[in-house]
């Protein structure tokens, strides 16, 4: 039975901390680790389950029929129109917290869970999903014929095959009313157009990032926060678009991961001010946040005779300048620069020839006089 497109990546290492085995049908970046799964249900446990579908689609449904559902079960749920098929991704007490986090009212109107899937539901669903790739390619040709500036990235059919969601990317607003009419007439389905961003598209396709790991958007990220160039400036990164951009063409999401850490560290640094010395005025050039170093140069627009000064020394010179005094030098001769955090190749791990097997030189055995004489006779 085909459940969903799924690859077992390391799920054999099963024993989780909760004492439960990893369900192979629930390994997905849209899943939530249920910390409260070991606690027994009470009368206050919500009768709501979270169900996930293809791509990044998730929704909450009421379990009005009091079905015994666990994470990984496939269910038929209410849709408009007909029914849809999805996988239960979360149950129990954690549902309440998830709804609060996403701003969904707990007592609001929710759709319901009909039943666990039956063989007839599976047959309909498989027939519908088998049409997705063909419909997507044909829809792209129709879009090209209509000269619409949009790209259809994926198609998701509803469980009963009566409706399809077309995910598209577009830089500007697109009038696709005629496209919807053509698609509905050609494929005899209800059509819903849903716009996604470049980051969601990259997460759907997947790939390997510049760090050598799988893309965050493809492996675990489901919420995308905007990234600005100010974040790169705070981290003292060069404004090179080729290095800062990810595979989606936007700024890398990982720039936000250390944003708060850099902001906190930058609070200890003084503003970009000049330092007056007896040799002249020293101009600010750059800083190293975590080594707490600031580079100064005596030429304003040139990196000439750049000197690295510790943060304490900079504050000391600023206080001297306020009192009208000028130090003889920027850097004290016996000043300790900083604690080196650089990697030291102690055991030769970075050597190019570390995997080179050195051939042992064979020592030539000297032949005895009798061996030489027998060889000459031959």
Separation CA 232–CA 211 (nearest Å): 17
pLDDT tier, 14 (very low <50, low <70, confident <90, very high otherwise): very low
Q: Among residues of the chain, what percentage have pLDDT more than 70? A: 77
SS3 (DSSP) at 76: strand
pLDDT tier, 9 (very low <50, low <70, confident <90, very high otherwise): very low
Last residue of a domain, one of 181, 196, 211: 196
The verdict on residue 360 lying in a domain is no
- Lowest mean per-residue pLDDT among 13-27, 217-231, 319-333: 13-27
Residues 104 and 60 in one domain: yes
Contacts of 367 (CB under 8 A, 6+ apart): 375
pLDDT in tens, 127-168: 999 999 999 999 999 999 999 999 998 999 999 999 999 999
The verdict on residue 308 lying in a domain is yes
The verdict on residue 131 lying in a domain is yes
The verdict on residue 372 lying in a domain is no
Residue-number span of the structural domain to which 208 is assigned = 201-266
The verdict on residue 93 lying in a domain is yes
In 3D, which of 128, 153, 131, 127 has the Cα closest to residue 140? Answer: 153
Residues 135 and 65 in one domain: no
pLDDT in tens, 94-135: 888 888 888 888 888 899 999 999 999 999 999 999 999 999
Model pLDDT, residue 72: 87
Residues 91 and 147 in one domain: no
Separation CA 301–CA 283 (nearest Å): 9
pLDDT in tens, 277-325: 888 889 988 888 888 899 898 888 777 778 888 899 999 999 999 998 9
Q: b or e along 185-212 (b: 16 or more beta carbons within 10 Å of the residue's beta carbon)?
A: eebebbbebeebebbbbbbbeeeebeee
The verdict on residue 354 lying in a domain is no
CA atoms within 13 A on the CB side of 126: 10
Tokens 């009419």 locate to 181
Residues 21 and 113 in one domain: yes
Model pLDDT, residue 30: 63
Residues 260 and 274 in one domain: no
Separation CA 340–CA 186 (nearest Å): 67
Separation CA 72–CA 52 (nearest Å): 10
Ramachandran class of 10: left when φ > 0, alpha when ψ lies in -120 to 50, beta otherwise: left
């Amino acid at each position: 039975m085909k459940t969903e497109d799924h690859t077992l990546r390391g799920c054999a290492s099963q024993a989780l901390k909760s004492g439960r085995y990893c369900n192979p049908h629930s390994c997905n970046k849209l899943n939530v680790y249920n910390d409260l799964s070991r606690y027994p249900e009470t009368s206050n446990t919500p009768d709501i389950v979270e169900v996930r579908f293809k791509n990044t689609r998730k929704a909450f449904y009421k379990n009005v029929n009091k079905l015994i559902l666990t994470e990984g079960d496939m269910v038929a749920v209410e849709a408009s129109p007909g029914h849809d098929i999805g996988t239960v991704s979360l149950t129990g007490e954690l549902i309440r917290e998830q709804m609060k986090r996403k701003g969904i009212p707990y007592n609001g109107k929710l759709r319901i869970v009909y039943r666990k899937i039956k063989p007839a539901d599976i047959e309909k669903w498989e027939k519908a999903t088998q049409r997705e790739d063909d419909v997507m390619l044909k829809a792209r040709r129709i879009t090209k014929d209509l000269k619409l500036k949009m790209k259809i990235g994926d198609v998701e059919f509803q469980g009963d095959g009566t409706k399809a969601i077309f995910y598209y990317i577009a830089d500007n607003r697109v009038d696709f009313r005629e496209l919807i009419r053509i698609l509905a007439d050609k494929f005899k389905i209800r059509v819903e157009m849903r716009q996604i961003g470049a980051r969601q598209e990259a997460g759907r396709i997947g790939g390997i990032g510049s760090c050598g790991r799988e893309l965050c958007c493809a492996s675990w990220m489901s919420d995308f926060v905007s990234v600005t160039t100010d974040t790169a400036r705070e981290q003292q990164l060069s404004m090179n678009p080729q290095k800062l951009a990810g595979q989606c063409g936007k700024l890398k999401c990982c720039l936000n991961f250390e944003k708060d850490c850099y902001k906190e560290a930058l609070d200890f640094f003084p503003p970009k001010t000049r330092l007056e010395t007896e040799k002249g005025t020293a101009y600010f050039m750059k800083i190293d946040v975590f080594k707490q170093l600031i580079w100064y140069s005596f030429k304003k627009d040139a990196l000439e005779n750049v000197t690295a000064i510790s943060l304490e020394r900079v504050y000391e010179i600023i206080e001297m300048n306020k009192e009208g005094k000028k130090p003889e030098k920027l850097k004290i001769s016996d000043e300790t620069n900083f604690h080196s955090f650089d990697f030291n190749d102690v055991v030769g791990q970075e050597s190019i020839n570390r995997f080179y097997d050195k051939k042992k030189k064979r020592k030539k055995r000297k032949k005895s006089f009798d061996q030489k004489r027998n060889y000459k006779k031959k």
